[in-house]
Chains A and B, each alone.
Chain A
Amino acid sequence: MSSSNLLLVLLMLTTAGYYLGRKRAFAVAEATGKGQQILHSRPTYYGALAALWCAIPALAIFFFWQAIGPTVITQLVVAGLPPDLQALPSDRLGLLMNDVKNLVHADIVSGEISPAIQAAADHYTRLETLSHAALAVLVLVVGIAGILWIRKRMSPQLRARNHVETLVKYLLVACASIAIFTTIGIVLSVLYEAIRFFKVIPVHEFLFGLDWSPQMAIRADQVGSSGAFGAIPVFMGTLLISAIAMCVAVPIGLMSAIYLSEYADKRVRAVAKPLLEILAGIPTVVYGFFAALVVAPMIRNAGVTLGLDVSSESALAAGLVMGIMIIPFVSSLSDDVINAVPQSLRDGALGLGSTHSETVRLVVLPAALPGIVGGVLLAVSRAIGETMIVVMAAGLAANLTVNPLKTVTTVTVQIVTLLVGDQEFDSPKTLAAFALGLLLFVITLILNVIALVVVRKYREQYE
């Protein structure tokens, strides 16, 4: 039985469990001769309890086996291989198992099929069929057992509602905890591969190296065999592009927020705000295309007219477009904090005779400054982590320069180029992407935490 069919049958079983439980509750109530009100809970709760006890354990078993089943089967097949094959080094063994799996799934197999591999493939197929059948039986038996168990315990005194509510609450807690598991997953997965990377390349070499050319030679005597993994040029590139982006986004975003919240009348606000939000809703891949095909050639042509040497993948193009992307981010965050400044402060300043702009510059902005700084920090973290614009419009060459007309590369570009395509997870080249990812995660995390704390403190100040 295929997995989706099994789930479908389980769903039907659960529905059946609901109706059976409910019917049983009526029957139990009738048997006492006092009617429905003798039951502790309403009959639907007895049905729901039966359904939950049918579905939850069965689903748990199902997903547990889905997660570990293939690994277990592979282990069993490896254990069943002839001893001479088992003695192979682990990477050769992995290739062999790949062949076996391809044979099972009727894909292309590399090399000829030896009888041992054919036997292993048959073994694999047998185990897989067995595991499917056993899983189906087990899941259904557990589901039915859950229903029967509730049915047996059914009595007017059974506090079905309380049981159901406890179960529901645990489900809710589980859903809320997914956020934590996601964070743990991110940290562990990135950290694990990064540590493997740092075993080959020392941490200080990665953090302070001035040279980035991530390649590993297959043979020792190859040209350019020594890869260099110094992250400084990559980070300088990221910072350069982010700085250009902030130079565009902060003044424009902040000034539009000030104008919209302090000067604009309702109609202008009603039109301009949604239009700004549109800028935020445009996918980054569209900005990337725009940067690569419209802005970059434009800047290049302008540079040629002025007699400047502009690279066709200049940091300026990527930075400018990224700045446009971040404008609405800065403006909506600043808008929020400016609106949170109490009206009394403005009234006081205006009452003392200052002009509107003086009120804004000398009273409102200083009062809103922590919030604005928090918003800008969030925007910086966003610029650093932005991927598609730089992948499409910035270059690959890791130049250590602050000239915005030259090509630079960024952390995200390097991650994408290192990880797109076929990867081998024992080469520092692939693992370097995870090390970069770790740094990216840590830096954005620090920026976010600072920003969130600052914004929260600021909000509390005026509440």
Chain B
Amino acid sequence: MNNLIQNQRTTRTMDIVNQGLARRYRAEKRFRLYGIVAIILSMIFLVFLFVSISANGYTAFQQTFVQLDIHLDPEILDAGSLADANYQGLVKHSLADMFPEVTTRRERRQLYGMVSNGTSYQLQDYVRKNQNQIGSVIQIWVPADDDVDMVVKGHIQRDVPEAERRVKDNQMAWIDRFQEQGRLEKRFNTTFFTAGDSREPELAGIQGAVTGSFYTLIVTLLLSFPIGVAAAVYLEEFAPKNRWTDIIEVNINNLAAVPSIVYGLLGLAVFLNFFGLPRSVPLVGGLVLTLMTLPTIIIASRAALKSVPPSIREAALGVGSSRTQMVMHHVLPLALPGMLTGTIIGMAQALGETAPLLMIGMVAFIVDIPGGFTDPSTVLPVQIFLWADSPERAFLEKTSAAIMVLLAFLVTMNALAVFLRKKFERRW
């Protein structure tokens, strides 16, 4: 009797369990699916980001060039005053000779606008180097205007009504003529890597911004690495457990989460207004980024110091070294790879940082390539920000291309960090 009741009860519980089982398994599957979907979604975002930027940007690595026949007229190019001869005029003559049917002023202006504004400077350089060719007709490849470039690359559609198009029908016809004569060619865009900023997309390059980034990062590295390591060594190896070190610890953790733009405000108020340092220079940018990356480096360095086993310290102390000797001779060398990894990651952060640099005036339009720590300059992310604001279609692809360069730098730095970690990682 008793047995029977118990049997009934267990079967009943089992029934309840079994009844719910299908539902619970479905819930299990659903839950699992949510997780997979979440990961796939993030991957899709990542891929979408990269694809859309590359698709916009890869064409910027090529630039359309136009071949011109230019008669180096000795009457215009007087040997005595080569510097201020009318090179613009030579280019215009050449274009006008090519299209004799163009007569009205308006059309002529359109025609002259087919080649870049920088053509006359290029011609000037050429003539200075090849003075013996004055009097002859030379064939020279010059960069096309950005609108022509966009047409050739297919970014300006021909089927759009003429009124809504930057390139008019007659210009389209000239482009076709150029193409028939083989005078139009896409080449690798060296200007993009060797020039400073410019208002003309076909003459704009990232060298100025890259150099600015380089100087800024040098300042940041030289300051933040020694200071960060020293602070970490103190906190981890020497600091007594008291209120002061507690405050420092809480502070560092907080600083790591302070919005970067607040560091910009600090730089503006302290470095520029109080100390009177110049605006827009890599020195101040480096100082601000140092303060910003210090918490990252300190936290990473402390983790590296923590991972050195205490037995090393005890052994060093045991053979009679002082605390400083123990740290300098034994702990620090073992922790250094980890610290370097942290520093590289901090530098990568600093390289991509924009907002604080806007505050200290590194957004100026600067054509020259900076030559030192106190030359006005801009940095790569700020250059991206500036170009992203430009209305020209050609700057859209320049911006994307600059982003690709920036991401390439970041990927290299992070890969280096991973490589260092793998190479020097020790399991005790």
Residues of A whose CB lies within 8 Å of any CB of B are 67, 70-71, 161, 164-165, 168-169, 171-173, 175-180, 182-183, 185-186, 189-190, 192-193, 251-256, 258-260, 262-263, 272, 275-276, 278-279, 281-290, 292-294, 324, 327-328, 331, 353, 355-358, 360-361, 378, 381-382, 384-388, 391-392, 412, 415-416, 419-420, 425, 433-434, 437, 440-441, 444-445, 448-449, 451-452
Q: How far is the CA of A350 from the CA of B32 in the complex (A)?
A: 16
Q: Closest CB-CB distance, A137 to chain B, in whole Å?
A: 24
The reply to whether the CB of B176 lies closer than 8 angstroms to some CB of chain A is no
Q: Closest CB-CB distance, A339 to chain B, in whole Å?
A: 15
Q: How far is the CA of A178 from the CA of B294 in the complex (A)?
A: 9
Main secondary structure on A side of the interface with B: helix
Residue contact B268 to A419, C-beta cutoff 8 Å? yes
Q: Top 10 nearest A-B pairs by Cβ distance?
A: A385-B259, A259-B35, A283-B352, A189-B269, A255-B38, A357-B31, A172-B234, A175-B230, A387-B355, A176-B231
A387 and B32 contact, Cβ closer than 8 Å, known pairs A252-B41, A283-B410, A419-B268: no
Which residues of B342-358 have CB atoms within 8 Å of chain A's CB atoms?
A: 348, 351-355, 358
Residue contact A415 to B37, C-beta cutoff 8 Å? no
Residue contact B38 to A259, C-beta cutoff 8 Å? yes
* Contact code string B32-74 (vs A, CB < 8 Å = 1, else 0): 1011111101110110110011001000000000000000000
> What residues of A have a CB within 8 angstroms of the CB of B39 in the complex?
255-256, 259-260, 272, 276
Q: How far is the CA of A452 from the CA of B53 in the complex (A)?
A: 36
Residue contact A190 to B266, C-beta cutoff 8 Å? yes
> What residues of A have a CB within 8 angstroms of the CB of B5 in the complex?
none
Which residues of B376-428 have CB atoms within 8 Å of chain A's CB atoms?
A: 381-382, 384-385, 388, 396, 399-400, 403, 406-407, 410, 414
The reply to whether the CB of B140 lies closer than 8 angstroms to some CB of chain A is no
Q: Closest CB-CB distance, B17 to chain A, in whole Å?
A: 8
Residue contact A182 to B266, C-beta cutoff 8 Å? yes
The reply to whether the CB of B151 lies closer than 8 angstroms to some CB of chain A is no
> What residues of A have a CB within 8 angstroms of the CB of B259 in the complex?
381-382, 384-387, 412, 440-441, 444
- Pair count A-B, CB < 8 A: 259
> What residues of B have a CB within 8 angstroms of the CB of A259 in the complex?
32, 34-36, 38-39
> What residues of A have a CB within 8 angstroms of the CB of B37 in the complex?
255
Q: Closest CB-CB distance, A293 to chain B, in whole Å?
A: 7
The reply to whether the CB of B284 lies closer than 8 angstroms to some CB of chain A is no
> What residues of B have a CB within 8 angstroms of the CB of A172 in the complex?
230-231, 233-234, 238
A285 and B385 contact, Cβ closer than 8 Å, known pairs A171-B230, A176-B248, A290-B49: yes
Among A185, A263, A286, A328, the residue within 8 A (CB) of B403 is A286
- The residue in A173, A285, A360 that gathers the most chain B C-beta atoms within 10 A of its C-beta is A285
Among B24, B35, B230, B275, the residue within 8 A (CB) of A255 is B35
Q: Closest CB-CB distance, A268 to chain B, in whole Å?
A: 8
Q: How many B residues, CB 8 Å from partner?
A: 89
Among A180, A193, A392, A437, the residue within 8 A (CB) of B251 is A180
Q: Closest CB-CB distance, A259 to chain B, in whole Å?
A: 3
Which residues of B233-285 have CB atoms within 8 Å of chain A's CB atoms?
A: 233-235, 238-239, 245, 247-248, 250-255, 257-266, 268-270, 273-276
A176 and B230 contact, Cβ closer than 8 Å, known pairs A186-B262, A275-B43, A440-B262: yes
> What residues of B have a CB within 8 angstroms of the CB of A327 in the complex?
42, 45
Q: Closest CB-CB distance, A282 to chain B, in whole Å?
A: 7
A176 and B27 contact, Cβ closer than 8 Å, known pairs A183-B255, A189-B266: no
A290 and B53 contact, Cβ closer than 8 Å, known pairs A172-B234, A283-B353: yes
Residue contact A186 to B258, C-beta cutoff 8 Å? yes
B249's nearest neighbour on chain A, judged by CB, is: A179
Residue contact B45 to A279, C-beta cutoff 8 Å? yes
A276's nearest neighbour on chain B, judged by CB, is: B42
Among B261, B266, B399, the residue within 8 A (CB) of A387 is B261
> What residues of A have a CB within 8 angstroms of the CB of B265 in the complex?
186, 189-190, 415, 419, 433-434, 437
> What residues of B have a CB within 8 angstroms of the CB of A445 in the complex?
254, 258
Q: How far is the CA of A392 from the CA of B253 in the complex (A)?
A: 29
Among B42, B231, B414, the residue within 8 A (CB) of A178 is B231
